[in-house]
Amino acid sequence: MPNRSRDDRLAIDDAPLRLRLQSLVRSFAECRVAVVGDIVADQFVYGEISRVSREAPVLILRHERTETLPGGAANCAMNLAALGAKATLIGAIGDDEAGRKVIDKLSAAGVACDSIIVIKGARTTTKVRILAGRAHAPRQQVIRVDYEGETPMNETSRQLLHANARDVFARSDAIVISDYGYGIVSAEIAQSAQRAMARGIPVVVDSRHRLFEFKGFTSATPNEAEVEDLCRERIAGIRRLEEIGEELRQRLRYRALLITRGGDGMLLLEAERPPLHIPIVGSRDAVDVTGAGDTVIATYTLALACGAPFSDAARLANYAGSVVVMKRGTATVSTEELLTVLAHESTG
């Protein structure tokens, strides 16, 4: 692999690239993408700070509203649907109110939910974010409470989940494995995705803690901190990140590895090509990064499914990420928003 890295700073008037990316976005509606992984209910509790409690030195929050949105693998599916793709979600939820609200939101967005199984007696993994503020002031997250754990499934449920995955994979143009560590993505499901990849479709992985268990796929989208955890090294300097990232790509036997770096943009490591540094688009001051990784992997995978090279897919994912981090809560990016930012921002 060439040693020289390449800084992706293309001119704002690079019309061929701009037209190519816009054409990709317009072709998203033709693609069928399967998402398999851990479904999370992202719950946001909003309230106004009214006074200090007499019982303890804490603030009292006057409840205004509670909103439950699809998170985890479900947020990835929501982003795919918002971008016009035919998205199918494979996973499991509990038989509870949070799970029902997630399914309602998914269905309303156009995500196919027939391959989601409901586990009787189980609780849907839920992340509750408390957002507080004074009257007429923006609400800010003050604490998060997680209700989590592996989804308990009997053998019948596991077999049904695997059968659903095999069926959906067979008719998909791409697959996203969205592993948040709650036990849905088994070795059998990973093997089914490997067999589907033999048809030439991309399979992209997002795994918080188990990336080494998903070798031989097309690509993955870890963030810089996850790369450090995987390699058990505190990475100092971009050149060391390039070296460690390339070693990781080779160990995983991926064609490419897209490392997200927050305010420092992205780093794409591709076989037989120099490292590609993609600078951040727009403001460095993100409003909320909740679920931004789901937006990135959804856009990246969708572009690959439409035949884009890794570099173009990464650039589009960078644009999509720049839009979603300026929204509060678990959010998505639409084709219209992506086309708008492409029309007005530099294609670098």
Give the DSSP letter string of 261-273: -GGG-EEEEETTS
Q: Which pair of tokens denotes residue 329?
A: 């809560």
The rounded distance, in Å, linking the Cα atoms of 10 and 26 is 22
**Which residue out of 96, 179, 294, 312 is catalytically annotated?**
294
Q: What is the DSSP letter of 293?
A: H
Which one, of 183, 181, 253, lies nearest residue 214 by Cα? Answer: 253
C-alpha 59/C-alpha 48 separation (Å) is 10
Location of structure tokens 């991926």: 254
Q: 3-state class of 254 per DSSP? A: coil
Number of H-type helices and E-type strands within the chain: 10, 14
Alpha-carbon distance 250 to 318, whole Å?
A: 23
Is 294 part of the annotated catalytic residue set?
yes
Alpha carbon distance 217, 305 (integer Å): 14
DSSP lists the bridge partners of residue 44 as 67, 129
Segment holding 68, helix H or strand E: strand 59-72
Q: At what angle do helices 73-82 and 292-305 cross, to 10 degrees?
A: 50
Query: 162 by DSSP, 3-state: which?
Result: helix
Cα-Cα-Cα-Cα torsion 264, 270, 275, 279, nearest 10 degrees, comes to -30
Does residue 131 sit in helix, strand or coil? Answer: strand
The closest alpha carbon to 302, from 78, 134, 98, belongs to 78
326 neighbors 344 (Cβ within 8 angstroms): no
Catalytically annotated residues = 294
